[in-house]
Structure formats: C-alpha cells, structure tokens
Structure 1
Amino acid sequence: MNNRVIKNASWIIMCRVVQAVLGLIISMIMARYLGPSNFGLLNYANSIVTFVIPVMRLGIHGVLVQEFVASEEYEGEILGTSITLSFISAIVCIIGIITFVSCVNAGERDTIIVCTLYSFTLIFQSFEMINYWFQAKLLAKYSSIIALIAYTVVSLYKIILLINRKSIFWFAVANTLDYLVIAAGLLIVYHRLGNQKLRYLKRRAKKLISIGKYYILSDLLITVFAQTDRIMLKSMMGNQATGYYSAAVACAGMTQFVFGAIIDSMRPTIFESRKKSEELYKKNLARLFSVIIYLSLIQSVVMTLFAPLIVSILYGRQFIQSISALQIVVWYTTFSYLGSARNIWILAEGKQKHLWKINLFGALANVLLNTLLIPPFGVNGAAIASLITQFATNFITGYIFAPIRGINQVILKGADPMLFVDTVKKIIRNR
C-alpha cells in the first residue's frame, strides 16, 4: 500500500469513526425510545428500500471507478450521465416501493407511511455517483468530510425529535435529510475541484448501461441474501423479532466503515497495478485480503466474548434477545468483506458477467435456509442462515464456479499470518 492509499484510507476512517460514535449514541437512545417493535419497523422500511437500490443504480456504480481511471478526459460526461440515469431510475423505484408495500402490507397504515417516507432517500442517493469520482482520484478527505457534516446534521435532527418525543414518521425522514446534505456537498465540491462540466450523453448512457448491466441482477441478488432475513422475520414473527435481529446486525457492523475505507482506497491502486505488473497486482490483492481476514477475525472474537455487555450498553435489557444472534452474525463479516474485495478482482479480470450466477446461488441459499431455520430457531435461525450463506457465496463458490477459481488461491495466500504482519509493518513505515 503506497502513501497516497494510506492517507486516503486514513481520512475515510477518521471521519467515519466520528460518524460511528455519533451513530452508536443516537441509535442507542433511539432504539430505547422506539422499542423493539418500532425499531423493527424502521429496519423493515430500510430493507425494502435497500432492495431497489441495485435497480436505482443500474449497475453503473460497479464500473465507475474503473471508467474514471481509464477515461479521465471524459469524466464530466461519465458522471453527468450516470447521475441522470440514476435519478430517473430513483423516481421509478419510489413508485414501485409505494405500490409494493400498499399491496403486501395492505391495511398496515404505519408500515405504508414509514416505507413511503423512507423511499425518498433514493432521489438524493442518485447523486452519490459523484463519490466514485473522489475514490478514483484518491480525494476521499472531501467526500468523508461532507458525509461527516451530513451525519452531524442528521444526528442533531434526531436529538431534537427525541427531545420532543416525535412519532416514528419523523424518524423515517432522517435518512432523506442525510442524503440531501451529502448530495448538495458533493455537487459543490465537485464544481470546485472537477475540471469538466457535468453533462448527459445518450451514447455514454448506452455504454454505461451495457457495462453495468451485469451488476444490476448481481447486486439485486446480493440484496436478497442481505435483506431477506429481516423481511422474512417480519412476515413470520413480527416487528419485534425484526428489531432484535436488526440490533444484532447493527452491532456486528459497527466497524464496517474501516473495512469499507480499506477496500475503497485499494480499488484504484489495484486497477492501476494490473496495468504495470501481474505480480504487483496479485500481491496488492493478497495484501488486501490479508488485512480484511485478520481484522475481521479479531473483531469477531472480541464481539463474541463481549456480546452481552455490548448489547446491554447500546440497547438495554429490552434487547437482551439480540445477544445470541450477535454472537452468530458477527462471524459472517469476514466472508462478507471478502466478497466485497473479491469483486475488485472480478471487475479487473472482466468476469462481471459471472456475478449473477454467484449471487443467485447466495440468494436461493439464503431464502431456503431462512425458510427452514426461522420457524424452529427464530432470530438465531436468521443469524445462522446469514452465516452459512456468506461463507458459501464468498468462499465455497470459488471452488464451484470455474471462471473464478483463481481468486481463492489469492485469498488463501492472504490468510498467511506473515503476510498480514508484513503488510502492517509496511503501513506503519509509510505513515
């Protein structure tokens, strides 16, 4: 990892640490105030909206960093076209969400209103395409600061709601406010730093959709096995069970920003190294896998041991049923982050057309496992289903599907503890 990558990742991590601390405090108070049932309803709305995000993005986000690196002289039209396409898609997705919830949850007034309010986040999420320009340029400090400002504004908004004891509907609007501030900030900073004006080109739109089409179905299937557990829990056991499970998943994902920062910062470097040397390219990949494997294993051990304390401090005794679920769920993080890193290799190798097969396998496995395990084991059943699904999808498929078999050798190389030690030493020297 070179010095620019480390500095870029440091900015992301530093800002997101503050966000995580704020998020923990606000989430802790909010969950206690709303209770497991309303907290579960908010997470159900989040799951429904998350389901359509892959459609809203049209798969374009999966190729943007590579497009910016490969075609720097056309970044204005690449970015302008991707934002326009995503914005139009967002409007269509909002209509789809309202229609779906009105049919599936007919008669549940609160559920329909919360999901509708939550869906408006999609409009402003379309502008997050600009964030991939910052990633490609290794200018994460700007986008990180913008996200931190937005998160601070939303945290203050939630505090005001808590003080005034507002209803759940007001909390459903919070995410929309978050993405509104981020969208405005990204546009302003890009206008100052970007060398080209944003513009839409039909020719560019066709190209982006053509390249990104493999990611639409793939990302949709990823969402299925990432969100199905919560939706199935609500339909089979109610809002309360969804609240317990969501609390466990939230605890397990507390350090997600660290892994996200590392992966995002390494992505452009890995693409660049592939142009220079196959050996350097595979070495950078192995180092990325090594850092992810060992940091996530350390996290899993710590959270398993201290799960009762973590849940009690963050959510209180009313969420006590989240403890055992957390002790199971936290172990799937290693395989989840490995999958995110593996996608860099898949894109670099031009194998994205095989993603849908991998993720279809994961989606079907997750639905089947949840169907079998939720009735007898409840919240823990959903946790076990998620763990098995992540392991099978992000590691076992590397032996099942021939086109991606090569990457498992690199992952196993990353599992070498000496490589992890060497990578840590290199990071410390380059600070």
Structure 2
Amino acid sequence: MSQPPPEPRGLPRFLPASLRNRIAPLLAAPGFSNTLWLFGDRLLRMGVGLVVGVWVARYLGPEGYGLLSFAGSYVMLFSALALFGLESLVVRELVTRPDQREAILGTTCLIRCAAGLAAYLLALPLLLLIRPGDSAALLLTALLGSSLLFQSLEVIDLWFQSKVRSRFSVCARSVAFLLSSGAKLALVLSKASLTAIAVATAAEALLTGLGLIVAYRMAGGSLRAWRWDRGQFSRLVTGAVPMLLSGVVLMIYLRVDQVMLGALADAGQVGQYAAAVRIAELWYFVPAAIVSSVFPDLVRVREQDPVLFQDKLQRLYNLLAFLGYAVALPVTLLAPWLVRLLFGPSYQPAAPLLAVLIWAGLFANITVVRNAHFIALEWGRSLLWATTAGAAANVLLNLLLIPRYGAMGAALATCLSYWIAAHGACYAVPALRPAAAMILRALLLPRWWRNHPVHGDS
C-alpha cells in the first residue's frame, strides 16, 4: 500500500492540498527567494516612486517637471555607453571563473569608469547642439549625468547576481532609493529649487554605490584585492561590443521620444508627456516577471519537443496580449480621472496622451515575449534587427509628427514604433514571418486560457 505524500510545510492549511502540493516545489526551487527579493524591490520602487514622482510633478508644474524629465531621459540615452554592455558577460565570467573574481571585477570596474567618463563628457557638448543657450538644461544634465560616473561601482551587483544573492544588492539599492526619495519629499515640503531636487535625484547613484561597497565587505569581499588583467580586458571588450550596440539602440528606442520632444517643443509639453508616461509604464515590470519565470522551461521544451515549444510560445504570446488589452481598455476610459487624481488639474492635457501611450504597453508586452522567443532560438541578429527598426522608426516618426502635433505626435510615434519593433519588422525578413503570424494571432484573438494549437484551427 503506497504512502501518501508528505504534507507541505510552511503553507496555510486553509489552502486545498492539491494547490499546496503545486506551490511547495516552487517555494523550494533554487533561486526562488532571490526572485522574491527582486520582485519586492520592483514593487517598492513602483509604489514609492509613483508617490514621490507625483509630489515632485505637482510641485514643479508641467514646465519644471518637463525640464527635469528631459534631462533625465537625455542622460538615460548615454547610460548604455556607461554600462558598456557588460552585464551578462561579467556574470557568465564570474560563474565560470570564480577563482578570477578580483581580476574580473577590477577590470570591469575600470572599463566602466572610462566608459562612464566618456559618456559624461560626450553628453554635455551634444546637449549644447540640441538646446543651444539653455543653461538650465545644461546644469540639470551635468547634475543628473554624474550618475554615469558612479555606475562603475554597480559591478558589485553583478557578483551578487552570479552568486544568486541579490538580497544584498536589493538592500543597498532600496536604502539609497528611500534616502533619495525622502530627500526629494523634504525639498518639496521646504519649497526648494529645481536644482536641489536634481541633486537629490543624482545622489541616489552615489548612495547605491556606497551601499554596494558596504554589502560587498559584509559578504567577505575587499575592493583592495581587485586588479587589472589584460586578458580579461580583451575578452570582456571583445564580447561586449555587440551588446553595447544593442544597448545603445535599445535606449534610443525607449527614451528618444522625450529627448526629441524637448528639442522640438516646449518644456510644458514634455512635462505633460512625462506625466502620462509615468502612469503608462507603471506596470511594465509585470510582463518581464512572467516571461523570465517561464523562459527556462521554454528553452528546455525547445530541445525536447519543437511542436510543444511552439504551442507554449503561442499561449505566452496570447497571455501577454490579453494582459495588454486588460490594462489598456480601462485606462483609456479612465485616463482623465487618473491624471486629475494623481497629478492635478494643471496636468489635464496629459489625459489624451495617456489614452494613447497605454496602448504602447500592449506592444511592449509582445516585445518581451518576442525577445524570449528569439533568444531561445539563438536568433541574436534578428533581435538586433527588430530593435534597430523600432529605434529608427521612433526617431523618424518623432521628427515627422512632433512639429505638427506636439506631445500627441510623440505619443503616436511611440505606439507605432513599438508595434514596428514587436511585430511589423518581422514581416521584412522571410524567416521571421512565422513569428509575425503568431503575434498577429495573439493580437486578434488572445485565447490564453486554454490550449491554442499553432498548427490548424482549434
């Protein structure tokens, strides 16, 4: 007579036994607690960031908030250069060569120091070409751009990632984020200047770096042991170049809209647009969390059963499309109320922008799945092509639409370019047209709640 399975521990007894038996292996899975720490960090930033962002936006008004948002988005364009595309490469090196930790970390830190300085020195003169004579924008960019210089210390986070011990990084980042957020609230209450708020914003990068140093020492590491290694330098730089190019293209794709709006329109429109973007992008971490949780299973199934891989992939496309519609439809209807509730009457022109930008989230969801699709099939060139097409479309559409329609033109350009990157670019390459058909099926009929065969009608 077979024995019943042991009762799962640590779960409430009011849950059905079948559900507890399903959840227990997940809780015991390697890295699950690490994922919870990362998810908690994202929730903290989403909640506190929204509250603080709304306070700052209300205090500064559309013009001041627009100027701050423009400078922040402009600096973000150069963050890809400062990071130098080293993230995944360094984690891989630390996992495969743990005995060379000091050489890997030291070399990576120096590379990022040089890249961050180059990015900072490049950003300032280019801004003078974009907005000549705008001393306020130059000062804000100089302050916010200082974060590019401190990103070299975030190499410590890569070591924690390689050890699946992200709780140390999360704690350091969260403390820095809360201190910076508290400082901004205090400055708003004391009616401080826009420059002071920019200083508090920039201080987060420095505080994060200092927190990571403390966490690294608590974990037994020492920065004094780091060293430069020529072999590591050659290996890292050679491998990072394609990732660097992809990162630069991705940042252009994601942030060029506010930069171009700031260059082609007034700061007030940038502020209205930034307010709409803050609400529209509030839930973007959800699709990334869903896809990252199922990606290892997709890779495994792809090797074992290609037909099942296609079916699982179609259901994932359908699920993310369904979530996109589930968010976009109500937000479109509630946009005026949401903007008035969060940002106040002075930001009411942001409501129609939000009603348009929220639909970019549908295509952003599809893009997350499409990226996992291409990575699982090792289609790196196709992924770069689609992202580049989206970035080029974003720039061209902004140039065409912003002079005519202002902030609404930027919103329309964002939606169209997100669709091109997620779906439209796939039609230009014959090998990608089956993926385009899967995406079209998800967009037209996202039946995620039951099996949806890829081949033939259901």
Structure 2: how far apart are the matches of 1:156 and 1:320?
27
Alignment-derived partner of residue 395 in structure 2: 367
Alignment-derived partner of residue 108 in structure 1: 134
Alignment-derived partner of residue 10 in structure 2: none
Q: 1:67 to 1:54 in 2, by over 3 A?
A: same
Mapping for residues 118-129 of structure 1, pairs under 5 Å? 118-129=144-155
Structure 2: how far apart are the matches of 1:258 and 1:211?
30
With structure 2 as the length reference, what TM-score do the two structures score?
0.80
Per-residue deviation at 1:382? 1.0
CA contact (8 A) 1:414 1:420 kept: no
CA contact (8 A) 2:184 2:201 kept: no
Match of 1:145 among 153, 156, 171: 171
Q: 1:195 to 1:188 in 2, by over 3 A?
A: closer
Structure 2: how far apart are the matches of 1:7 and 1:409?
37
Q: 1:361 to 1:36 in 2, by over 3 A?
A: same
Q: 1:107 to 1:195 in 2, by over 3 A?
A: closer
Match of 1:247 among 275, 281, 289: 275
With structure 1 as the length reference, what TM-score do the two structures score?
0.85
Per-residue deviation at 1:410? 7.0
1:45 aligns with 2:77: no
Structure 2: how far apart are the matches of 1:66 and 1:407?
29
Cα deviation digits, residues 130-149 of structure 1 (max 9, x gap):
43444454434333333222
Structure 2: how far apart are the matches of 1:37 and 1:249?
16
Which structure shows the higher helix fraction? 1
Q: Which has the larger radius of gyration?
A: 2
Per-residue deviation at 1:2? 4.6
RMSD of Structure 2 on Structure 1 (CA): 3.3
Per-residue deviation at 1:339? 2.7
How many residues were matched structurally? 421
Structure 1: how far apart are the matches of 2:137 and 2:46?
27
1:304 aligns with 2:302: no
Structure 1: how far apart are the matches of 2:86 and 2:431?
22
Per-residue deviation at 1:80? 3.6
Long gaps (5+) in structure 1: 423-431
Mapping for residues 22-421 of structure 1, pairs under 5 Å? 22-68=48-94, 74=100, 76-193=102-219, 198-263=226-291, 269=296, 273=300, 277=304, 289=317, 292-347=320-375, 349-402=377-430
User: The residue matched to 2:390 in structure 1 has which SS?
Assistant: helix
Q: 1:248 to 1:350 in 2, by over 3 A?
A: same
Structure 1: how far apart are the matches of 2:218 and 2:298?
26
Cα deviation digits, residues 48-67 of structure 1 (max 9, x gap):
11111121122222544555
Q: 1:307 to 1:189 in 2, by over 3 A?
A: same
User: The residue matched to 1:389 in structure 2 has which SS?
Assistant: helix
Structure 1: how far apart are the matches of 2:174 and 2:272?
28
User: The residue matched to 2:192 in structure 1 has which SS?
Assistant: coil
CA contact (8 A) 2:339 2:348 kept: yes
Instruction: Please tell me the residue identity of whatever aligns with 2:115.
Output: S
Q: 1:145 to 1:344 in 2, by over 3 A?
A: farther
Per-residue deviation at 1:250? 0.7
Q: 1:302 to 1:136 in 2, by over 3 A?
A: farther
Q: 1:65 to 1:302 in 2, by over 3 A?
A: farther
Q: 1:55 to 1:303 in 2, by over 3 A?
A: same
Cα deviation digits, residues 338-382 of structure 1 (max 9, x gap):
334544454555443454433332222112212222233221211
Long gaps (5+) in structure 2: 1-24, 452-458
CA contact (8 A) 2:335 2:355 kept: yes
Q: 1:103 to 1:391 in 2, by over 3 A?
A: closer
Greater Cα shift, 205-214 or 132-141: 132-141
Per-residue deviation at 1:401? 2.9
Structure 2: how far apart are the matches of 1:194 and 1:342?
40
Bigger RCO of structures 1 and 2 (CA < 8 A, at least 6 apart):
1
Structure 2: how far apart are the matches of 1:133 and 1:281?
32
Per-residue deviation at 1:406? 6.4
Instruction: Please tell me the residue identity of whatever aligns with 2:355.
Output: Q
Cα deviation digits, residues 103-147 of structure 1 (max 9, x gap):
432322111111111100112223334434444544343333332
User: The residue matched to 2:85 in structure 1 has which SS?
Assistant: coil
Greater Cα shift, 2-11 or 231-240: 2-11
Instruction: Please tell me the residue identity of whatever aligns with 1:47.
Output: S
Greater Cα shift, 40-49 or 207-216: 207-216
User: The residue matched to 1:255 in structure 2 has which SS?
Assistant: coil
User: The residue matched to 1:166 in structure 2 has which SS?
Assistant: coil
Instruction: Please tell me the residue identity of whatever aligns with 2:345.
Output: R
CA contact (8 A) 2:262 2:270 kept: yes
Structure 2: how far apart are the matches of 1:301 and 1:74?
52
Instruction: Please tell me the residue identity of whatever aligns with 1:305.
Output: L
Structure 2: how far apart are the matches of 1:271 and 1:65?
22
Cα deviation digits, residues 24-82 of structure 1 (max 9, x gap):
22111111111111111111111211111121122222544555555555555444433
Q: 1:401 to 1:82 in 2, by over 3 A?
A: farther
Structure 2: how far apart are the matches of 1:18 and 1:110?
31
User: The residue matched to 2:133 in structure 1 has which SS?
Assistant: coil
